[in-house]
Structure formats: structure tokens, C-alpha cells
Amino acid sequence: MLFKPTHLATTFLSLLPAVNARLRTCVPRDLPTIEVFGLQVVDIAAKEHRGYEDWRPSPMTGISVPKRPIDFCNFTITYTHPGQGDRVNVYVWLPLEDWNGRFLGQGGGGWTAGWEMSLAPSVAVGYAVAITDAGHELSSSLADMNKTRSWMLTSPGNINWVLLQNFASRALDDLPKVAQQVVKGFYGEPAKYSYWSGCSTGGRQGLMSAQRYPKNYDGIVATAPAIHWATFVVAELWAHIVMRKVGYYPPNCELEAIRQAAIKACDELDGVKDGVVAAAGLCTFDAKSIVGQTFDCGGEVRKISTKAAEVTNAIWEGPIRNGRQAWYGLPHEAPLTGLALTECDAGNENCKGKPFIASVSWIRDVVMSGQDIDLSALDEDEYWNILHRSVREFASIISTDDPDLSEFKSAGGKMITWHGLADQLIPVNGSSDYYEKVLALDPDARSFYRYFEAPGVTHCAGGPGAAPNAVLDTLVKWVEHGIAPETLDAATVPVDEAEAARHRPLCLYPLVAAYVGGDLAEAGSFECAESFDVVKRHTEL
């Protein structure tokens, strides 16, 4: 029988737009009850923003978007795990118009589980986006990581295991489960696709999600991931152990002079002179080869010292004991002041070490349970004991180095990792090492997981190299349209208006972008090859 709408049915249908409009009001009571096994919501707050302009594009998002005013609703969901005594906040920003139908979880950096600065750019391109604070205060900078002690310890000598577990993994599982219910309640329909994007800690969080919670996301961008946390964060202290051993803390100007000499020596190993060490694996520059050469240090002419060369070589080599390498060193091009920073008196005299704060807080507050130890006084034996203890007690909690991604693959997930070859904080070889282990376990892993390296790019962004700026778009094409990326489009960031951007393809690991002729600023002048020897072949032709 043909259905004919009655007056009552017609009236009901005419109300649907109004219902939808009500669902998009920024009022907590309009959300359904949020139910996630193992947690209890204790508060929901909401605030509507119109014409919001207090934001700027961020390279941490994997999104390229110009700044503009945005309209969104900010829901803050506060919950606890009953009996655990924690209080976790999930921040969900929802576009009031032009939602693209997707949900995006975003990561943090250092001890911060989520960067608030990453939310607005995502809203600007239509994503419903969320972050978690994992149960402790969000930090706005690495310097704020000194606050770690205030939440990491329940008392001196006693780790707050609940908050450590939240930061390491549990809050990452809660985030999409809470946020997705907010999205559905607000828009009246669930997100069609779910994505994750993060760098550094955010990259580690992405890998944690793929390894332990493989059904939470359809696609993951895990940039410069802090994969082997329990190992490499202690390895970040290595430069200062070496400085103490040789009895010399080089001023930053001396370390920079040695780095620039290495870049000059290795720049053209890829057949291109562009101030970037693209052939990082071929660079064997020895700092001792320039001992005695002069350099400028704040207007004063000095000479490269033997001890500075010894320290630098050790940083490039990484922690080694009895012929066994515990972790990788920094690439020759990476700024040495990231992990080998020193502070000096006026005139660059009487220098002392200033270790990276993430390394200090991990060793002091976690591995040593809050003991007030003087890390600058550690000898080598003490250092190796701390490294062993860190791995033994905490790797299974936070290190995300499990190469078995079979469940993520079976769930249909796709993942992209890229890492700068000039990363000054997280050695890039940690990422290639992990990827090779994934491939060894599953030779078909490229069907769902692809890794790329970016010559000349420092941690997450920056440096003279070309960095990708629309990786999330690339991932969306792979997930939703089956277009797997063979390359990532990348470009340099000009330092002034007179300089033009240089474009490069970032090739699927282990392929490299070899120059084949033409304008060095154009991506078409490069092709992906097994080695840079392709330059010679094209020259001969």
C-alpha cells in the first residue's frame, strides 16, 4: 500500500531541522549520557565560541590551513576511574558549521598528553577534534615539564602509577570512546571516520593506539614518534655523561662550528649542494679531523679543541659500552644544543651542562622515584645502571616498540610515520629500526603502514629541509579512497619573502629522493631510487 503522509507525520517531518539545530546547541544537557566501561563522568562543561581568532597554524597537526575566524563548541568532559582517585579531562572542539563528518584525536609532546594549540587548525578544516590531559595539567611548553614531580609522585619515593598508566596508555583508549559519544550527541550522527595525528609524544601515542587499541582509529599519523621511551629518554643524557668523563663542557658556539663542518663535508654525498645532509647514512665525518681549525664564538676567534671533538663524536655514535650500542646517536646534521646544551659565563667561559628537561624528569621523578640526585655528577656505571633499570621496569608500560601490528591490520587501519633526518631530540634511527622490525614480522606491512624520512628537518618541524605539511590529507585519501602514498609532498619554509620554497618528494623507506636533473626547487627534478647513484646514471646518459 502506498504510504501517504498524514498531517501528524508531515508536522513531525517538518520538525527534524529544528531537532538537528537543538542538537547543535552548546549545552551539556543536550548530550546523551556518556557511558564507557571502567570510567565515570563527573562533570560536563560547554562553551560556544564565535569568530575565534586566538590561534595560529601549527606544524604539529599534519594539516595545512590558513588562519581564519572559526565557530565551534568546546565540550570539556571530566571523568574518573572509580577507586583510582584520578580526574581526567577530555577537550572536544566541534565545528558549528561545515563539519566534515570525521573525528580526529590529537596528541601532545613531552609529558603533555595533548596540545591545545593543535585543536583550532583542525576545526578550521572541519574536523571534530579532541585531546586528553591524561589526568594532569596540560603544559604549554617543554619548560613546564618541571611540573612533572607534582603529579608523578604520590609521595617521595612512591610513583603515582595510576597517572603514569593514564599518560602511557589508558587515557588514549578513553579519549575516542568519550569523544565519539559527544560527537554523536552533538551532530545527531556518528563520525564516518576516526583519525589520530601527533608528533613526538603524540607519535608514541599513535603507535600505542595501533598496538593496544587497534580498533579505535581508521587512520593514524605518528610523526617522529617517541617509540622506545624507556631507552631513548635515558640515552638523551649521554652527551652530559661524556662531557663529565672528558672533563670539558663545550660552549654551544664550538658545538655548532663542528656541526656546520660536518654539514659542509656531507652535503653533496647525495649529488646535490643545498645545505642539507640527505645521505645521512653515508656521512662518516670525524670531528677530530678539524681539531685546531678556527671558528667564531660571539666575535672571538677560537680553535676547535680535541675534547670538543671527542664529545661530538660520542654524541653522533650514541651510548656504547663494551662494544655494545645501547641506543642510536644523533645524525651529523642535527643541532647539538638539543641534547648537549651548555650554559656559560660571560665570554663563553666556565661552561656547565644543561641536560634536556624530559630526560631529567624521567630519570629523577620516575626511574629514581623522586630522589634528588645530581645528574651532572653521574659516573658511567651509575648511568648504565639507570638505563638498565628504566628498560627493565618501564618499557612494558610506555615504550610502544611492539612490532606486531596484526590486529591493527585486521581492523583495516592505515598508518603513516615520517621522521626528520636532522631530529635533535629523538634519533631518527629509532623509527627506521622499528619499521624494519615491523617488516621483518610482516613483509606485507606496507599495505597498511608506510614510513618516510625527511632530510634536513628537525624535531617535528623546522630546519633547512623540506617537511610535509598535509600528511593527514594523504592519510584520508588512503583510508577513504584506497590511494596508498608512494611519496609525501614536502616543501621548505622560506626564511623571508625573497626566498622561494623548495619542493621535494619524500620517498617510501628505504628509497631515497635522487636528483635526476633540472631545477633544484622543483619536486620533479627528483625520483625515488634505491640509492643516490641514480644521479651518476642520469649524468652519464
Tell me how many degrees the CA angle 268-222-211 measures, rounded to the nearest 5.
130
Phi-psi region at 101: left, alpha or beta (left = phi > 0; alpha = psi -120 to 50): left
Give me the count of residues in the chain: 541
User: How many of the other CB atoms lie within 10 Å of CB of 448?
Assistant: 20
Residue 348 near residue 354 (C-beta atoms within 8 A):
no
For 184-211, the DSSP string reads: HHHHSS--SEEEEEEETHHHHHHHHHHH
Distance between CA 115 and CA 137 in Å, rounded?
11
Tell me which residues are annotated as active site: 200, 423, 459
For 160-178, the DSSP string reads: -HHHHHIIIIIHHHHHHHH
Crossing angle for the helix pair 306-317 and 252-266, to the nearest 10 degrees = 60
Distance between CA 48 and CA 337 in Å, rounded?
42
3-state secondary structure of 209: helix
Residue 359 near residue 249 (C-beta atoms within 8 A):
no
| Amino acid letter, residue 505 | P
| Amino acid letter, residue 256 | E
3-state secondary structure of 243: helix
The residue whose grid cell reads 631507552 is 231
Distance between CA 382 and CA 375 in Å, rounded?
10
Distance between CA 187 and CA 30 in Å, rounded?
11
Distance between CA 230 and CA 228 in Å, rounded?
6
Tell me how many degrees the CA angle 523-529-532 measures, rounded to the nearest 5.
90
Selection from 296, 302, 235 nearest residue 260 by Cα = 296
* Radius of gyration from C-alpha coordinates of the chain: 25
Phi-psi region at 75: left, alpha or beta (left = phi > 0; alpha = psi -120 to 50): beta
What are the grid coordinates assigned to 253, written together?
Answer: 658556539
Distance between CA 296 and CA 233 in Å, rounded?
32
Please return the burial class of 89, using the count of CB atoms within 10 Å of its CB with bins 0-12, 13-18 and 19+. buried
| Amino acid letter, residue 82 | P
What are the grid coordinates assigned to 115, written together?
Answer: 596540545
